[in-house]
Amino acid sequence: MSSIIIKSPREIELMRQAGRITAAARTVAREMVAPGVTTAQIDREVRHFIEKSGAIPTFLGYGGFPASVCLSVNDEVIHGIPGHRRLKEGDIVSVDVGATWKGYVGDCAGTYIAGEGSEEAKRLIAVTRQSFFEGIAQARAGNHVGDISHAVQTYVEKNGFGVVREYVGHGVGSEMHEAPEVPNYGPAGHGPKLVRNMTIAVEPMVTQGTWEVKVLKDGWTVKTLDGKLSAHYENTILITDGEPEILTYGEDL
Ligand code: MG
Instruction: Write out pLDDT tens, residues 107-163.
Output: 999 999 999 999 999 999 999 999 999 999 999 999 999 999 999 999 999 999 999
Distance between CA 215 and CA 125 in Å, rounded?
22
- Cβ atoms of 206 and 68 within 8 Å: the answer is no
Report the C-alpha gap between 222 and 236 in whole angstroms. 22
Alpha carbons 92 and 69: distance in angstroms, whole number = 15
Question: Among residues 160, 88, 154, 167, which one has the least CA distance to residue 124?
Answer: 160
SS3 for 40-53 is HHHHHHHHHHHHHC
| Amino acid letter, residue 114 | A
Distance of CA 249 from the midpoint of ligand 1 (Å): 15
182 CA to centre of ligand 1 in angstroms = 10
Mean pLDDT of the chain: 97
Cα(170) to centroid(ligand 1), Å: 6
pLDDT of the residue at 151: 98
Q: Given this model, what pLDDT does residue 253 score?
A: 85
Amino acid sitting at position 104 = Y
Q: How far apart are CA 207 and CA 78, in angstroms?
A: 11
Distance 10 CA to ligand 1 centre (A): 22
Q: pTM of the predicted model, to two decimals?
A: 0.98
Q: In which band, very low, low, confident or very high, does the pLDDT at 1 lie, cut at 50, 70 and 90?
A: low
Closest CA to 171 of 127, 216, 107, 77: 107
The answer to whether residue 224 scores a pLDDT higher than 70 is: yes
pLDDT confidence tier of residue 176, bands split at 50, 70 and 90: very high
| Maximum distance among all Cα pairs of the chain, rounded to whole angstroms | 48
Q: Is the pLDDT of residue 238 over 90?
A: yes
A 10 A CB-CB count for 28 gives 19
Q: Residue 191 and residue 147: Cα distance in Å, rounded?
A: 9
pLDDT band at 252 (very low <50, low <70, confident <90, very high): confident
Share of the chain above pLDDT 90, in %: 98
Residue type, 209: G
As residues whose CB is below 5 A from the ion ligand 1, the structure lists 107, 201, 203
Of 195, 210, 196, 202, the C-alpha closest to 181 is 202
